[in-house]
Structure formats: C-alpha cells, structure tokens
Chains A and B, each alone.
Chain A
Amino acid sequence: MTELLRAVFVAPFADMAGNMPFLIEVLIGGVAAGLMYSLVALGFVLIFKASGVFNFAQGVMVLFSALTLVGLMERGVPVVAALALTALTMIALAFAIERVVLRPLVNQESIILFMATIGLNFFLEGFGEMIWGSNVKKLDVGIPDTSFMVRGVQVNRLELTAALTAAVLVAILAILFQRTKIGRALRAVADDHEAALSIGIPLKTIWVVVWSVAGLVAIAAGIMWGAKSGVQFSLSLIALKALPVLILGGFTSVPGAIVGGLIIGVGEKLAEVYWGPLVGGAIENWFAYAMALAFLLVRPQGLFGERIIERV
C-alpha cells in the first residue's frame, strides 16, 4: 500500500525535481500542444459567444480550410495567394452558412441550430473530399518540424510558431471584442437578440462576421495541425480535444479558451510522462476528458464562464 502511494504521490515529483531540463521540455511541449488546442477552441467560443450556437462543424471547418490550402498549393498556387484564396473561401462559406442555415432558423431553439451544424459538419466533410480528394496530404508551410537547443532544452520550431500564432490571434480577438464598434455589437448580440435588433444591429451581418472570423481562426488551426500531422480526415476530430478545453475555460471566454488549452496541454503531457508508466502509458488520450469531468463537478460554468444564477 505504501509502495503504491509512494509511486503515485512522491516518485513522480522526485523525478521532476531530479531532471529539470527534461521537466522544462515536457512543460514546453505541453504549452505548445495546449495552444494548438486553444486555436481550435477559439473558433467554438467565437460562435457560441455571438449566437449561443455550439458549432459542431468547427472541427470540419479546420479540416476544410487545410484541405483547401493544400489543394491550392498542390495546383501550383504560391503560398501567399493560396492563403488569401483560402481566407476568401472561408468568408464565402460564412455568407453561405448565414443565408442557407442560420437565417431560416432564426429564433429557433438552440438545439435545432446545433443539429443544423451537425448537418453542416457532414456536408462540409463530403464536399471537401469531393473537391480535394481524401488522400493524406502533406502541408509544408516552410516551417520545419525540427528542434533547436536553448540552454540544454529542446524547442520545436513548429510548436514555437504555433504558440506565437495563437498568442497573436488571441491579442487581436481580445482587441476586436473589447475596443471596436463591431466588438460591442457582437457582445450585444450575444447578450440579447431582441434588444440588439432594437438598437439597430443587423443580426445577419453580425453572424457573417463571427462565422468569417471563426473560419479564419480555423485556417490558423488547420495550418498548424496540418503541418504537424498531415492534412487528413482525422484532423476534424481534434474538435473533440477542444471540448475539455471549453469545459475548463468556459464556453464564452476567449481568455478561458487559452488558459483551458494550456491546462489541458500541460496536464496531459505531465500525466503521460510521469504517471503514465504506472498504468502502462497512453494516458494522454483520455486524461483531458477525465480532467474535464472532474472540473464539471466543481465549476460547471468553467474558469471564466458566466456564472449561471437562476433567479427564483
């Protein structure tokens, strides 16, 4: 018994203290993975914040944008032009979604909108593969997946780039939400549709804006994940990894998506490396969900989510 307690509560921490550079490497890996999750989670948060819709298709939007980018590059379009075209595609997609999916369903229950996004999910998946094919594609954006050493610690170039991209995106989004006219309108729509209409905010414009921004965030996530693990169908499943991030961070908070991503990323890396051997490894696959579940019991609204107070 004492053996077991020692193995769970003492030995891992002794290991951490024993090899500092390695611990730092693990932490950096965790932060990088976490920010990659955050990139995906951000897309969810944007749409949920502005329309109360949980967009099931966010993962497929990541896949679709990556497919479009790779497809264009394979046909000889230069990187910058391909990026611009992909961005235009995602914006066009936002217009189409507003017109075909959201507008006819305005004022419906959010569960109905949620189901509509499930339909959108399957449509986009099929549509993407129809146009660009279903082979695994390599996405090369000119950032090598290699490491360099800083004071005895390995740093991966691709992960570093992803981390910086996520940081820049978050800063831009925070400014967009807090400082601009559009940001104020977005927050207004998220709070109360009727009141927003009454002060002259056109809902459809706002929806096009948020879905466009979510599409652009999907491109960033698609590039980073695509460069890491190839552009293929399984890319859309990273949306599932964003779920625990959302539960931790709260569905309505941009900073929450970042902090939640970091906690999940670092948490699962630490668990895998230091506690994994105890149960034969592969903790990384389910640890995030276990954390989310535990978190739900204590703080269902998430770290930064709005507290739900029912007035009786």
Chain B
Amino acid sequence: MPATLAERPIQQAAPASEPRREPLLQVEAITVRFGAVQALTDVSMDIHRGEIVAIIGPNGAGKTTLINVISGFYHAQQGRILFEGKDRTALKPYDVAALGVARTFQNVALFRGMSVLDNIMTGRLLKMRGHFLLDAIYWGPARRQELEHRAAVEHVIDFLEIQAIRKTPVSRLPYGLQKRVELARALAAEPQLLLLDEPMAGMNVEEKEDMSRFILDVHDEFGTTIALIEHDMGVVMDISDRVVVLDYGRKIADAPPDAVRADRAVIDAYLGVAHD
C-alpha cells in the first residue's frame, strides 16, 4: 500500500517524561556463546519507538552478533528478546522480518543476479498476497497488486535518489550504491525497526554524508526506529539519539552521545584518547 508509505505522518518522538512507555524492543540479559567463545555476556538494552540508536565498540566486541540475535539469525543461550512487549526470543529470521524488522548486512547481501528494481521489489514480498495462478497470467487483482507495490518501490527509489540505476544489475554497481540499494530493499518492507550493520563501511567522506542524510531523512519522514552499527565517531555523534557501547561482549555504556564521549571506560576501551 503505497499510500501508507507516502503519507505516513511524521512520527514525533514522544517526550521522554511520558510515563511507562513500552520500548519497541527489549533485549534482556542475553548471552551468546560459540563453542568456547563468549560473544555476548549478559547484555541488556532497550530501543524505543522513534529513536536512532548507535551500537559501537572495537572489532570483535559483539556488535554484529547483537544485530544477528535481534533479527533471529542467531539465538541466545540465555536471556530474552521482547518485541512490542511480547517474547520473541526463539523466532526465525523470516518470522522476525514478518514482525516488521528489516536489516542490512555488513557485507552487502543483495541478489546479484537481479536488477536494482527487482531487488527492491523483493523487499515487498511479505506484503504481497499473491495467488499463484492469477500471478502467472498477470490478471486482475495480481496486476493491480503488482502496480501498487511498484508504486511503493518507486517512492523508495525516488527517496534514495537511485532513479538512474533502476534497471542495472546490482553486481555492476559500485560498492557505495550497492549499500544504498540494500537500504532501499529494507525500506521497501516499511519496517518498524531498521537494523543497519555498518551502513557506511568502506565509503568515502562524500558517500558517508549522503548515507547519513538518508538515514536521518528516513527517520524524519517515516518515523522509522533505527539501530545501527558504525565505526565513524563523527557520524555516530551527529545522527544518533543514544549510543550503546560494547567491549568484549559486555555493555560498558548506554547514554546520549555527549555523555558517552566523556565516559572514561569508553575512552579506555574504544576511543583511545590519551589520558591526561
């Protein structure tokens, strides 16, 4: 339904003082082990509606593992995940996607054999109620539905300024644009929660600025709640409402950017500023 995507009112971040507001996502004391390696230890965090949360930390701190647990690719040995207050700990990735959680991957995971348009269209698979035979002859409701979804996808394409590469096979695109197409596919699903795993890795300054702008625009226009992993501290400070810092699989800080920047434990573990 393109109308909702196009006309969804800007969701205002509710004032923090609002009493007992339920977080969109609650991660409760999760622990993840791979054999002898303890990837996450007793990590808890909340993500509230309308927030942009950055997850930072040194390499191997467990950032991607955390995203993978939230999106159902990994499962925690201990702890719970609640989405909209309901226990979602054991869900599989496709069930999590059906709940309205979309994600991108650290190493771009696009369908390389398909065009940009087809890739973004796959983002709407969950929204399609297709009948096989009607689809096949492309008739009546199937045709109308295809057109509706196409319109929603075109909106995303306009939004991310990738009109010119619509028909290009994604394998021919430069890396920065591939990342943008991956974001477009995630957006096409009209997610409630968008998880971005290093959306700006390997980009030059200009591309990073573009991507930051898109993330902020997505947030403003669709009111999407966003959690992202990012290494560039400048970007993190600029766009996030709150920063969660992981180190060796433990959460060592969870605060607004300015407070995190001044935090001694964070400086020691990650920022590496000389002590004075």
B-contacting residues of A (Cβ < 8 Å)?
A: 172, 175-176, 179-182, 184-185, 187-188, 190-192, 194-203, 306
A195 to chain B, nearest CB (A): 4
A130 to chain B, nearest CB (A): 35
Complex Cα distance, B132 from A176, in Å, reads: 8
Instruction: Show 25 residue pairs from A and B whose CB-CB distance is below 8 angstroms, ordered by the A residue.
Output: A179-B135, A179-B138, A182-B130, A182-B132, A184-B118, A187-B111, A191-B110, A191-B111, A192-B111, A194-B73, A194-B105, A194-B109, A195-B111, A197-B73, A198-B73, A198-B93, A198-B103, A198-B105, A199-B122, A199-B189, A200-B98, A200-B125, A200-B126, A201-B94, A203-B94
**A180→B262 CA distance, assembly (Å):** 54
Chain B hits for A203, CB < 8 A: 94
Known: A182-B135, A200-B98. 18 other contacts (CB 8 A): A176-B136, A179-B135, A179-B138, A180-B130, A181-B132, A184-B121, A184-B125, A185-B122, A188-B111, A188-B122, A190-B113, A194-B73, A195-B109, A195-B111, A198-B109, A199-B97, A199-B185, A306-B113
* CB closest residue in chain A, given B136: A175
Q: Which B residues from 123 to 156 make CB contacts under 8 A with A? A: 123, 125-126, 128, 130, 132, 135-136, 138
Chain A residue contacts of B123, Cβ below 8 A: 199
Q: Does B40 contact A (CB under 8 A)?
A: no
Complex contacts, B128 vs chain A, CB 8 Å: 181
- Collect the chain B residues with CB atoms within 8 Å of residue A190's CB: 113
In the assembled complex, the CB of A308 is this many whole angstroms from the nearest CB of chain B, namely: 12
> B233 interface residue, CB < 8 Å from A?
no
Residues on the A chain within 8 Å of B109, using CB: 192, 194-195, 198
List the A residue with the shortest CB-CB distance to B100: A200
The reply to whether A181 and B130 contact each other, CB–CB distance below 8 Å, is yes
A239 to chain B, nearest CB (A): 26
The residue in chain B whose Cβ has the minimal distance to the Cβ of A203 is: B94
With contact pairs A180-B132, A180-B136 given, residues A201 and B114 touching in the complex (Cβ less than 8 Å)? no
- B92 interface contact, C-beta 8 A: yes
Is there contact, CB below 8 Å, between B121 and A195? no
Check: B86 CB closer than 8 A to any chain A CB: no
In the bound complex, do residue A195 and residue B110 qualify as a contact, i.e. CB atoms below 8 Å apart? yes
| Bound Cα distance from A178 to B19, whole angstroms | 51
A199 with B136: in contact, given A187-B114, A191-B114, A194-B73 (CB under 8 Å)? no
Q: Which 9 A-B pairs have the closest CB atoms?
A: A200-B97, A195-B109, A181-B130, A191-B111, A197-B93, A180-B135, A200-B126, A202-B94, A200-B94
Q: Which residues of A contact B185 (CB under 8 A)?
A: 199
Is B102's CB within 8 Å of the partner chain A? yes
A72 to B73, CA, bound (A): 44
Residues on A with beta carbons closer than 8 Å to the beta carbon of B118? 184, 187
Give Cα distance in the complex from A176 to B73, angstroms. 29
Please give the distance in Å from A103's CB to the nearest CB on chain B: 12
Complex Cα distance, B102 from A196, in Å, reads 11
Q: How far apart are the CA atoms of A14 and B221 in the complex, in Å?
A: 75
Q: How far is the CA of A203 from the CA of B189 in the complex (A)?
A: 18
Q: How far is the CA of A306 from the CA of B171 in the complex (A)?
A: 12
User: What chain B residues lie within 8 Å of A200 (beta carbons)?
Assistant: 94, 97-98, 125-126, 189
Once bound together, how far apart are the Cα atoms of A192 and B118, in whole Å? 14
Chain A residue at minimal CB-CB distance from B149 = A181
B71 located at the interface, meaning its Cβ lies under 8 Å from any Cβ of chain A in the complex: yes
Is B213 interfacial (CB 8 A cutoff)? no
* Given A176-B136, A179-B136, A199-B123, A187 contacting B97 (CB threshold 8 A): no
B112 on interface, CB distance cutoff 8 Å:
yes
Min CB distance A211 to B, Å, is 17
Q: What CA separation (Å) do A172 and B135 show in the bound complex?
A: 12
* Interface contact A197-B113, CB-CB below 8 Å: no
Min CB gap A176→B, angstroms = 7
Complex interface: chain A residues within 8 A of B125 (CB): 181, 184-185, 188, 199-201
Q: Which residue of A lies closest to B123 (CB)?
A: A199
Nearest CB on A from B116, distance (A): 14
Q: Which of B73, B98, B112, B113 has the largest count of A CB atoms less than 10 A from its CB?
A: B113
Q: Which one of B94, B112, B122 lies within 8 Å of A184 (CB-CB)?
A: B122
B contact residues around A201 at 8 Å (CB): 94, 125
What A residues does B71 contact at CB under 8 A? Answer: 198
Q: Which residues of A contact B114 (CB under 8 A)?
A: 187-188, 191
**A267→B114 CA distance, assembly (Å):** 33
Q: Which residues on B sit within 8 Å (CB–CB) of A196?
A: 111
State the Cβ distance, A252 to closest chain B Cβ, in Å.
Answer: 8
Q: Which residue of B lies closest to A202 (CB)?
A: B94
Q: Cβ of A194: which chain B residues have Cβ within 8 Å of it?
A: 73, 105, 109
Complexed CA–CA distance, A187 and B169 (Å) = 14
CB nearest to A191 among chain B residues: B111
Residue in B97, B118, B122 with the greatest tally of chain A CB atoms within 10 Å? B122
Contacting residues, chain A, for B98 (C-beta < 8 A)? 200
B269 to chain A, nearest CB (A): 29
- Chain B residues contacting A175 (CB-CB under 8 Å) are 136
A197 near B122: Cβ-Cβ < 8 Å: no
Question: Inside 8 A of A197's CB, which chain B residues have their CB?
Answer: 73, 92-94, 97
| Assembled-state Cα–Cα distance A184/B114 (Å) | 10
| Residues on A with beta carbons closer than 8 Å to the beta carbon of B102 | 198-199
- Cβ distance B248 to chain A, nearest Cβ, rounded Å: 26
**Which chain A positions have C-beta within 8 A of B126?**
199-200
